[in-house]
A and B are shown apart, each in its own frame.
Chain A
Amino acid sequence: MIGILFSILGFIIYKGIGVISWEFITEMPKDGMTKGGIYPAIIGTLCLIGGSIIFAFPIGVMSAIYINEYTKHGYFRSFIQLMTSNLAGIPSIVFGLFGMSLFVNQLGFGDSILAGSLTLGLLVLPIVIRTTEEALKAVDDNFRQASLALGATKLQTIQRVTLPIALPNILTGLILSIGRVSGETAPILFTVAAYFLPKLPTSIFDQVMALPYHLYVISTSGTNINDSRAMAYGTALVLILIVLILNLTASAVRRYLSKKNNIN
């Protein structure tokens, strides 16, 4: 069973490693996406990651702080928690449709990085909120009470005591949500992704190419599926590498910071 999962990884690494080269990462796609590189797709994915994190991270963390530090156990709190888990359970394609009807059509952003980032941000908001909440819950109440007893206000306690202790786990959640953003195809399908656009975005109202959608396009509906197969292996490998590196960084950050906190 583990074998199946490993064989997937191994197969894609084996087929993709030969495709990846410096040119593959830094050149525009050429000849109907059968030659050249995936540079615009990588840049597009980075733009989307940045945009969605700028939106989702502050709101998610503030939301979790409010839920965990300010509300008492009660209807309001459980209602917000229920809605957060509801949001987490919504299929990603529905986020795509919602993003299209609200951001692209109603608010008139068009197919743009802005619309795509907001959609992806909403998608990962529940992940950020939940991991931050868990991180805050794990902070020992003695710390809070000690800080309050020394005359610090609630805000000072959160700022100086609770957040620094919870930071490693919050960062882990952040990195995990970046991994999720970089791999999602359905939400960007209707909101930002361009089928073929060999230039870099100049503003947040531009369309971009993105890695997952690029892979989807060249493996199912490219101009010449057989010729672009090698490109598909390479794209898949780059995508997996980004996600794996982010996940490994997450666990490394968590280990490093929690060790540091223990010494203090």
Chain B
Amino acid sequence: MKKLIGNLIQGLFLISSTVTTLTVLLIVFFLFSEGLSMFKESPLEGENILAVHSNNKVKTVSAEQIKNIFDRKITHWSEIGGSADSIILFTSQDFDTYFNADDLGPKFEHLPRKIDSLINSTPGIIAVFSSRYIPPHFRGKLIEVSNVSLNSFMSGREWFPTAHPAVQLGVLPLILGTLWVSLIAILIALPIGLATSIYMAEVASVRMRNLLKPVIELLAGIPSVVYGFFGLIIIVPMIQDIFNLPVGETALAGSIVLAIMALPTIITVSEDALRNTPRAMKEASLALGANRWQTIRRVVIPYSISGIAAAAILGIGRAIGETCFGHSVRLALS
């Protein structure tokens, strides 16, 4: 009986220990399945469809081409492989200009027929309308919007997930923004953090160290949203003043906030690394006549360089993942 209970509880322990593994696998699974659906869905917004005149040679268009057409950057079908006709736009907002309300009927019941005849009579038209209004004997041609490809996703320069009529999903500016912001943040945080940890590990007295260490550990625990709030209140206006910018919410502001957030982690981890230098090595260096600074530079830092690198990566990695430091970074990314 006792053994049975023991085995049962051991089983319970085993199940608990697999929870983390399961979670990681589930997260990966969900991210992939939700992410992949993006590549399967049409970039067209909602239930909209795209229709052209039946003689039009264009069969598919990409999301980027749709955007350029509706921004009037592409004005002729010849630019995307069609005839020489100039492109005429027709969206649901143009219902009023093309038809008057009496023609459509009180419940828009004549709308499909009107759209049909409009498309049939205008060779250069491209029409976006809801699939509810598709006419029964449609004489025009529906064209397909090519799905988002991995290539256009990674290299696209426009990120407008709410654009009309087709969403623009290019993740390149987000990736570049993240890289820039974190690079500048490392450049700011690493020298300051390293200097502080050298001070704490090699220079400061024991009392000073016992005072500073818990304080820095407390600072590591401050919620990121508080750092973000601080950045929004202090750093953003400061940058606006110094550089005379219309808005202060720039990549630099984001980098400074990230650097401040990363500092406590960088200091604690690299200080541990510095203190792991064997005493004998330091004393040997001092015995050879090197002074304290030379010992730190030539012996202590080279010995603990791997720990310092780890500190930088851990600190910035934690900070990059945080999204809630006010608007500063979010704007820098977009």
Question: Chain A residues in contact with chain B, CB under 8 A?
Answer: 1-2, 4-6, 8-9, 11-12, 58-60, 62-67, 70, 79-80, 83-84, 86-87, 89-95, 97-98, 101-102, 122, 125-126, 129, 153-155, 176, 179-180, 182-186, 212-213, 215-216, 219-220, 229, 232, 236, 239-240, 243-244, 247, 251
Contact = CB atoms under 8 A, between A and B. Distances in A.
Contacts of B9: 155
A31 B320 CA distance: 35
B215 A2 contact: yes
B31 interface: yes
Given A93-B323, A251-B214, A216 B20 contact: no
B27 A98 contact: yes
Nearest to A225: B232
Contact of A65 (B6, B13, B221, B321): B13
A242 to B, nearest CB: 9
A243 B215 contact: no
Contact of B230 (A12, A59, A87): A12
B27 A212 contact: no
- Interface SS of chain B: helix
Contacts of A212: 223, 225, 324
A98 B26 CA distance: 8
7 contacts: A8-B227, A89-B317, A94-B321, A97-B31, A155-B10, A215-B226, A219-B326
Interface of B: 2-3, 5-6, 9-10, 12-14, 16-21, 23-24, 26-27, 30-31, 34, 192-193, 195-196, 212, 214-219, 221-230, 232-234, 260, 263-264, 317, 320-324, 326-327
Interface centre among A1, A90, A219 (most CB of B within 10 A): A1
A243 B6 contact: no
Contacts of B31: 94, 97-98
B24 A83 contact: yes
Given A4-B263, A179-B221, 9 more contacts: A62-B12, A66-B17, A79-B21, A84-B20, A94-B27, A184-B223, A185-B324, A186-B322, A219-B229
A172 to B, nearest CB: 12
- Interface SS of chain A: helix
A87 B24 CA distance: 6
A243 B326 contact: no
A92 B321 contact: yes
B21 A183 contact: no
Contacts of A9: 219, 222
A236 B229 contact: yes
A87 B13 contact: no
Contacts of B232: 219-220
Contact of A98 (B30, B229, B327): B30
Contact of A66 (B16, B196, B223, B264): B16
A182 B16 contact: no
Given A83-B20, A92-B322, A125-B23, A8 B12 contact: no
A216 B324 contact: yes
Nearest to A212: B225
A196 to B, nearest CB: 17
A215 B225 contact: yes
A11 B19 CA distance: 42
